[in-house]
Structure 1
């Protein structure tokens, strides 16, 4: 399976492609611009257009020959199709995901390498991140809001590349989740997202090109989730 199209071409949000296979309510094409969801990031909103109509894409799944796209109805499109990703929703997810990395980096460096225990981006312009932080002072966590907005104002470049998975595992802080990690691709590499001078970690999601593209953020709530987890909710 080739590397996902949306990773190598994050700015290409529409493509035309030839249908490789079809069944009622689904078509197979070689590559797709649609981010399928994962790691707390919501799936792209996208439309499928063919000679017989148009329909929202309900989900995608990758296989050895390409990417299946599901939609409502029993049509089986053939020939040339077009896929259009909703740019405004993708941009929102990029913004929230980049902000989550920024906050993750601040917590990791200021709270003794605390690991992530959960994350979820929301369509309402907010996200929450959970950390393994038993006994952490909520006011100290809330004070990270100023540092988060300082990082936004610094307009740091956000870059992505690939590293051998086994090498990445040897580097402290490259994998920040306590229980899950991005899987290696078939070539044995994992994608690494870096915020210049601030953060570097494995991630398979989509991001802004720089921190300055994010809007000012505020920490709206901090919750205790069990004896060890602290949940931080952020909104733009």
Structure 2
């Protein structure tokens, strides 16, 4: 395997609503299977890696149980397969199929958490997304947060049917907006651009995750829980109603 030449084209950035794709196997290792292109989103930014299956030339299917970036060569995305999968070799042409219902729920909740950022004016210290719920941790020494008020404010934004836009800012543009990043970890800037999710007039921040096109797609949610995790940390958990 030529590590310098190996990389995966991330189709999930360009085609977040597409369910299936064709690809060629670039490499197979103990980390999984690397493809020349993929719709499977790799674990990152609080969003779980996608699941689904790969359809092989002989018609058999093998389950993808998780998707992760290589710990060192971040341009490589590994598809981790169920145990006992058939022998897959570099050069094999195959079809990938997402567990779309799971992925779409991640997209809806991820966008909803961006709306939560617009409601809670505090730095974000942690994030976690699941198919049925999501949570953000905020740096808030004293909390005046109210579950019912958060639910009402979220539903106003969701029912407002606001467009969710993707922008690519140059590194210089991004650095000229020092308050854009709400998290303690700065986004990667190695490729010369920073991907930004913009809900005009509501929230704008760097993010590599997958999102819905309009807030109306999020659907009904409620603020399920507000917890004090430490002296400076309040955890807000949302779930689909």
Same fold (TM over 0.5): yes
How far the C-alpha of 1:24 sits from its partner, in A, is 7.3
- Secondary structure at 1:76's aligned position in 2? coil
Gaps of 5+ in 2: 1-6
C-alpha separation in 1, matches of 2:74 and 2:188 = 16
CA contact (8 A) 1:169 1:175 kept: no
Counterpart check, 1:33 vs 2:33? no
Please list, as runs of the form range in 1=range in 2, the aligned pairs for 1:163-202 lying within 5 A after superposition. Answer: 163-177=169-183, 179-186=184-191, 188-202=192-206
The one of 137, 153, 162 equivalent to 1:130 is 137
How far the C-alpha of 1:228 sits from its partner, in A, is 1.0
- Secondary structure at 1:143's aligned position in 2? helix
**Over residues 90-144 of structure 1, what are the superposed CA-to-partner deviations in whole Å (9 max), with x where a residue is unaligned?**
1100000000000111112xxxxx1001111123x111111011112233x6422
C-alpha separation in 2, matches of 1:162 and 1:226 = 35
Gaps of 5+ in 1: 109-113
Aligned match of 1:111: none
C-alpha separation in 2, matches of 1:3 and 1:143 = 42
Structure 1 residues 197 and 82, CA gap change in structure 2 (3 angstroms): same
Counterpart check, 1:223 vs 2:222? no
How far the C-alpha of 1:43 sits from its partner, in A, is 1.1
How far the C-alpha of 1:184 sits from its partner, in A, is 1.7
CA contact (8 A) 2:9 2:36 kept: no
C-alpha separation in 2, matches of 1:36 and 1:169 = 26
Please list, as runs of the form range in 1=range in 2, the aligned pairs for 1:1-236 lying within 5 A after superposition. Answer: 1=7, 4-22=10-28, 26-52=32-58, 53-57=60-64, 58-61=66-69, 63=73, 67-71=77-81, 72-73=83-84, 75-77=87-89, 78-108=91-121, 114-123=122-131, 125-139=132-146, 142-177=148-183, 179-186=184-191, 188-236=192-240
What's the RMSD between the two structures over aligned residues?
A: 2.2
C-alpha separation in 2, matches of 1:20 and 1:122 = 30
CA contact (8 A) 1:25 1:76 kept: no
CA contact (8 A) 2:69 2:77 kept: yes
- Secondary structure at 2:213's aligned position in 1? coil
C-alpha separation in 2, matches of 1:64 and 1:41 = 16
C-alpha separation in 1, matches of 2:31 and 2:228 = 43
Structure 1 residues 84 and 105, CA gap change in structure 2 (3 angstroms): same
How far the C-alpha of 1:82 sits from its partner, in A, is 0.8
- Structure-2-length-normalised TM-score: 0.85
